[in-house]
A and B are shown apart, each in its own frame.
Chain A
Amino acid sequence: MSVHFHRGPMRIKWMLTIASMKMFFRQREAILWTLLFPLLVVVLFGFVKFNGLGKIDMGVVNEAGPQGEELLSRIRAVTTFDVSVGARDEEMARLARGERDLVLVIPSVYAGSAAASLTAYGDVEAKPQVTQLGGLVLQRVLDESAFAGAPGIRRTIVTTLPFKSRNLTYIDFLLPGILSMSIMQAGIFGVAFGFVTLKKRGILRRLWVTPIRPNDFIIAQVAMRLLVVVMQMAIMVGVGVLFLNLHFIGNMALIFLLGVLGAVVFLGFGFSLAGISKSEDQVAPLANIITLPMLALSGVFFSRSNLPGFVRSVTAFFPLTYLADGLRSVAIDGATLLQVMPQILGLAVWGVVSCVLAVRLFRWE
């Protein structure tokens, strides 16, 4: 009998994991929610153009300080432009991703020199009309301001330089977002509903009269969920690259690392909810309170750069923001481990928080 004692625990964790996988994949809803639904969202939203309602996305890099402000305000006044201001690296990176149509650089020499010329960058090949139109409108703004004799603005020539962008589409933005969304939903809703059902139907009680330890069962559940997350990410990225023209240039191992970390965070919240809820009716509102604000504000569907300043600062600390940003920069910018370290650390801190919560709140009965 002592032989069973020592060999049993590892084997039963494995058996329970396999059994949990079988149970998971034999549910039609599971396949629907983990694979078909996220892909459907990506495809449907991917076909809709969210290009700022026909506006030209104009990034402005102002290196001339106060001297450039006057020009900036005149550019802002043009309704055809959707103006964002940022540092040169940032704006050029956005241009490369296709988030900007044009990036205008007001160089530091602009302040003093009468003959300074301004340069606007744009992907002339990929977006000929937009760059051409944007360049013309810019030129007119400058001509007008010179004519009006506005201080600090000299008549300047805009040169539109060709720039090779990867011409990323909304799908490139959306797919990592949807991936992080489904990791969150599976962790929180999947675990919370699943465990409340197991408790309510007496399935857990039946397990506790056998010699398995509750932790064996938890470990198996977590292992199953993490395996599902890895499969889901592989399949979604694969389908994205093969059928949806996803411009994936990232390291898949980093994608898995971020996804697994994110899954741990949300599994912790799922187990916490399962602990404080007695029925499915109690789970739903709590789960929604946690997930809905993140869905709306964590940059799953739309870039957080459009959010008001303070909302943007607060939502930067949401776990879903870390996950979505991390997955996105790895997937489409090819970010390295070092570059997504802030996201990894953010998720790690949330992981500790959610697991401590789960340990304190989770109850078997």
Chain B
Amino acid sequence: MTESGEIVLQVDDLVKRYGGVTAVDGVSFSVHAREIFGILGPNGAGKTTTLECIETLRTVDAGTILLGGLDVRRQAQEVKRIIGVQLQSSSFFDKLSLAELLVLFGGMYGRHVDPLALLDEVELRDRARSQVVQLSGGQKQRFSIAAALVNDPVVIFLDEPTTGLDPQARRHLWGVIKRIRSEGKTIVITTHYMDEAEELCDRVAIMDAGKIIAMAPPHEMIDALVAGGFRKEKVERLASLEDVFLSLTGHTIRDE
């Protein structure tokens, strides 16, 4: 649907090693403007490392990353100005209110922000004077997204934003993410939840052991699996994206 949009993120042959372990092994993909692009994969597949390389948090061992026309390896500082990031395990300063935090983060980009408008974006206006510790899990994630929006970024990166949330909070967050996209943002998201990817993503890349092993719109992946003879035992729908995922990456539980 948005394939025709210009490319805002282009990753080519990205390699990242930790000691002897190759965490990301020659990953290539491109993300179009106003697209929600999902990166799926079991724990340890290299999703977070891939994002952190793009977000300038990690040095890259090989490959190129172009973001908004900027070379991430050479122009990290400029790249930071046009991205918004929600990290998997990041938190915010204690003792500052949500409004104060947003103003401070805006200042880091040299911007004067309207904290209430940003909080409206994620439906947290009534918590403007609260501190992050006082928020529920879903509210924390929504605040984290608001903080990622302070610089009006071109691309927003969300690393497992719904992990640990109850179904209601997840669906609420999906609504927020879709609305942000409809306002013209490009979103790259990682997740463990296939229903989430199916619901949100225009295209997904499935990673395993540091490589992308499949990349397509969710419905195409499902159609392809069904066309290949796959049938669910108990047929409600012909197959879900979860089936695609598991058939590709196997059923074994992997720990980080």
Interface positions of A (Cβ within 8 A of B) = 1, 3-5, 7-8, 11-12, 15-16, 19, 22-23, 26-27, 201-203, 205-212
Restricting to B90-114, which residues have a CB under 8 Å from any CB of A? 90-96, 100, 103-105, 107-111
What total of A-B pairs shows CB separation below 8 Å? 73
The reply to whether A1 and B81 contact each other, CB–CB distance below 8 Å, is yes
Among A4, A206, A209, the residue within 8 A (CB) of B83 is A209
Chain A residues positioned under 8 Å from B214 (CB to CB): none
Question: 13 more A-B contacts (CB under 8 A) besides A209-B83, A210-B108?
Answer: A12-B110, A19-B96, A22-B100, A23-B93, A202-B91, A203-B91, A203-B92, A205-B57, A206-B147, A209-B55, A209-B85, A211-B80, A211-B109
The reply to whether A206 and B92 contact each other, CB–CB distance below 8 Å, is yes
The reply to whether A22 and B57 contact each other, CB–CB distance below 8 Å, is no
Among B108, B110, B111, the residue within 8 A (CB) of A207 is B108
Q: Distance (Å) between the CB of B88 and the closest chain A CB? A: 8
Give the complex CA separation of A211 and B91 in angstroms: 18
The reply to whether A206 and B87 contact each other, CB–CB distance below 8 Å, is yes
The reply to whether B94 and A23 contact each other, CB–CB distance below 8 Å, is yes
Give the complex CA separation of A3 and B109 in angstroms: 11
Interface SS, A side: helix
Give the complex CA separation of A236 and B100 in angstroms: 31
Which of A4, A207, A209 is packed against the most chain B CB atoms within 10 Å? A209
The reply to whether B83 and A23 contact each other, CB–CB distance below 8 Å, is no
B168 adjacent to chain A (CB < 8 Å): no
Chain B residues positioned under 8 Å from A11 (CB to CB): 107, 110
Interface positions of B (Cβ within 8 A of A) = 55-57, 77, 80-81, 83, 85, 87, 89-96, 100, 103-105, 107-111, 147, 151
Chain A residues positioned under 8 Å from B83 (CB to CB): 209
The reply to whether B104 and A19 contact each other, CB–CB distance below 8 Å, is yes
The reply to whether B56 and A201 contact each other, CB–CB distance below 8 Å, is no
Chain B residues positioned under 8 Å from A205 (CB to CB): 57, 87, 90
Among A1, A202, A212, the residue within 8 A (CB) of B108 is A212
Among A3, A12, A209, the residue within 8 A (CB) of B56 is A209
Chain B residues positioned under 8 Å from A209 (CB to CB): 55-57, 80, 83, 85, 87
Q: Distance (Å) between the CB of B8 and the closest chain A CB? A: 17
The reply to whether B90 and A22 contact each other, CB–CB distance below 8 Å, is no
The reply to whether A202 and B107 contact each other, CB–CB distance below 8 Å, is no
Chain B residues positioned under 8 Å from A23 (CB to CB): 93-96
Chain B residues positioned under 8 Å from A22 (CB to CB): 95-96, 100
Give the complex CA separation of A12 and B150 in angstroms: 14
Chain A residues positioned under 8 Å from B109 (CB to CB): 4, 8, 210-211
The reply to whether A202 and B96 contact each other, CB–CB distance below 8 Å, is no
Chain B residues positioned under 8 Å from A212 (CB to CB): 108
Chain B residues positioned under 8 Å from A202 (CB to CB): 87, 89-91
Q: Distance (Å) between the CB of A324 and the closest chain B CB? A: 32
List 20 A-B pairs, Cβ < 8 Å: A1-B81, A4-B109, A4-B110, A7-B110, A8-B109, A8-B110, A12-B108, A15-B103, A22-B95, A23-B94, A23-B95, A23-B96, A203-B90, A206-B90, A206-B91, A209-B56, A210-B105, A210-B109, A211-B77, A211-B80
Chain B residues positioned under 8 Å from A4 (CB to CB): 109-111
Give the complex CA separation of A313 and B197 in angstroms: 71
Q: Distance (Å) between the CB of A279 and the closest chain B CB? A: 15
Which of B81, B87, B105, B110 is packed against the most chain A CB atoms within 10 Å? B110
Shortest Cβ-Cβ A-B pairs, 9 listed:
A8-B110, A4-B110, A206-B90, A210-B108, A26-B95, A202-B90, A15-B107, A209-B85, A23-B95
If A202-B89, A208-B57, A209-B55 touch, whether A19 touches B108 (CB-CB below 8 Å) is no
Q: Distance (Å) between the CB of B148 and the closest chain A CB? A: 9
Give the complex CA separation of A112 and B174 in angstroms: 102
What residue in chain B is nearest A18 (Cβ atoms)? Answer: B104
Chain A residues positioned under 8 Å from B81 (CB to CB): 1, 211
Q: Distance (Å) between the CB of A350 and the closest chain B CB? A: 31
Chain B residues positioned under 8 Å from A8 (CB to CB): 107, 109-110
If A26-B95, A205-B57 touch, whether A211 touches B108 (CB-CB below 8 Å) is yes
Give the complex CA separation of A269 and B89 in angstroms: 29
Give the complex CA separation of A203 and B89 in angstroms: 9
Chain B residues positioned under 8 Å from A15 (CB to CB): 103-104, 107
What residue in chain B is nearest A24 (Cβ atoms)? Answer: B95
Give the complex CA separation of A138 and B46 in angstroms: 86
Give the complex CA separation of A340 and B61 in angstroms: 55
Chain A residues positioned under 8 Å from B87 (CB to CB): 202, 205-206, 209
Chain A residues positioned under 8 Å from B107 (CB to CB): 8, 11-12, 15-16
Q: Distance (Å) between the CB of B17 and the closest chain A CB? A: 17
Give the complex CA separation of A22 and B109 in angstroms: 21
Q: Distance (Å) between the CB of B65 and the closest chain A CB? A: 14
What residue in chain B is nearest A198 (Cβ atoms)? Answer: B93
What residue in chain A is nearest B105 (Cβ atoms)? Answer: A210
Give the complex CA separation of A206 and B105 in angstroms: 10
Q: Distance (Å) between the CB of A145 and the closest chain B CB? A: 70
Give the complex CA separation of A202 and B56 in angstroms: 15
Give the complex CA separation of A7 and B83 in angstroms: 20
Q: Distance (Å) between the CB of B229 and the closest chain A CB? A: 45
Give the complex CA separation of A203 and B103 in angstroms: 16
Q: Distance (Å) between the CB of A221 and the closest chain B CB? A: 12
Which of A7, A202, A206, A208 is packed against the most chain B CB atoms within 10 Å? A206
Give the complex CA separation of A265 and B163 in angstroms: 44
Give the complex CA separation of A15 and B106 in angstroms: 10
Q: Distance (Å) between the CB of B80 and the closest chain A CB? A: 5
Chain A residues positioned under 8 Å from B108 (CB to CB): 12, 207, 210-212
Chain A residues positioned under 8 Å from B111 (CB to CB): 4
